[in-house]
C-alpha cells in the first residue's frame, strides 16, 4: 500500500515518470519504475498507469521475488526484471524501464548486442573515464515468460566481464537501466538514449 512506502521513494518514482514521459520514452502506459526500499522491499509502479500522470496510488510495494504486499494490487508485468537487478546488484537502488523509438528500432535490427563507442556520454557508466571507450549493450529476445527472460538476463550477466554494464535491451521492447539512486539511473538512461538516438540518426545518413 502507498501509505507504507516512504514519501521520498514515491516522489522519486513520480518525478522519474514525468521526466521519461517528457522525452516520449514511456508512451501510453508503457514502462515501469522502481526504488529499492531496504529490508527486502521494492516500491514499483502498478500496471496500467500512464507515467506522465503518476500519483501515490500508482505505486505499490513488492518483495525481492516480486510478490505484492497487497495482493489486491497488480504490479507491472515486468516486476521480476526489476527484482532480478536488485538481487544481483546490491548497489542498485533504482531501476527504470522505457520504450523509446530509438531503443525499439535499433534492438529489432541488432544481434546479441549494440556496440557504442567514441561517445562522450559513455562516461555516464561506471568504469568509463573517457570517450575513448566502447561498450557492448546486451540485446535479449523478448519473452512473455518473465522468469525465463530473467534467467536469460542472468546468463548474459554471467558471461560479461566485471563490472557488469548496468543496462540491457529487450528486442523490440525497451531498455532497462539501474543505478545507486534514481538520479544516477536517470542520468544513465538519458546518456544511453542519446547515444542510441545518434546511432539511429547515423543509419539515415548511410
| Domain spans in the chain, listed from the N-terminal domain onward | 2-205
pTM of this structure: 0.94
The Cα 94–Cα 21 span in angstroms is: 17
Q: Which of 160, 34, 141 is nearest to 97 (CA)?
A: 34
Q: Which of 201, 204, 196 is nearest to 121 (CA)?
A: 196
Is 3 a residue whose pLDDT tops 80? no
Is 95 a residue whose pLDDT tops 90? yes
Domain 2-205 belongs in CATH node 3.40.225.10 = yes
What per-residue confidence (pLDDT) applies to 163?
Answer: 85
135-193 residue pLDDT tens:
899 999 999 999 999 999 999 999 998 889 999 999 999 999 999 999 999 999 999 99
Q: What percent of the chain has a predicted confidence (pLDDT) above 90? A: 84
What per-residue confidence (pLDDT) applies to 105?
Answer: 96
Q: Is 198 helix (H, G, I), strand (E, B) or coil?
A: helix
The Cα 35–Cα 168 span in angstroms is: 18
Amino acid at each position: 500500500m502507498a501509505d507504507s512506502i516512504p514519501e521520498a521513494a514515491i516522489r522519486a518514482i513520480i518525478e522519474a515518470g514525468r521526466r521519461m514521459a517528457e522525452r516520449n520514452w514511456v508512451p501510453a502506459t508503457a514502462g515501469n519504475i522502481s526504488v529499492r526500499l531496504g529490508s527486502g522491499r521494492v516500491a514499483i509502479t502498478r500496471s496500467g498507469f500512464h507515467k506522465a500522470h503518476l500519483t501515490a496510488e500508482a505505486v505499490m510495494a513488492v518483495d525481492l521475488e516480486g510478490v505484492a504486499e497487497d495482493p489486491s494490487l497488480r504490479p507491472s508485468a515486468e516486476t521480476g526484471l526489476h527484482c532480478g537487478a536488485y538481487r544481483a546488484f546490491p548497489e542498485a537502488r533504482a531501476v527504470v524501464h522505457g520504450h523509446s523509438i530509438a531503443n525499439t528500432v535499433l534492438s529489432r535490427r541488432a544481434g546479441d548486442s549494440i556496440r557504442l563507442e567514441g561517445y562522450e556520454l559513455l562516461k555516464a557508466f561506471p568504469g568509463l573515464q573517457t570517450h575513448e571507450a566502447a561498450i557492448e549493450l546486451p540485446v535479449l529476445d523478448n519473452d512473455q515468460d518473465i522468469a525465463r527472460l530473467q534467467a536469460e538476463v542472468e546468463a548474459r550477466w554471467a558471461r560479461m566481464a566485471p563490472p557488469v554494464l548496468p543496462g540491457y535491451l529487450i528486442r523490440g521492447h525497451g531498455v532497462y537501466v539501474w543505478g545507486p539512486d534514481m538520479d544516477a539511473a536517470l542520468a544513465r538512461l538519458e546518456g544511453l538514449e542519446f547515444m542510441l538516438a545518434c546511432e539511429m540518426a547515423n543509419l539515415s545518413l548511410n
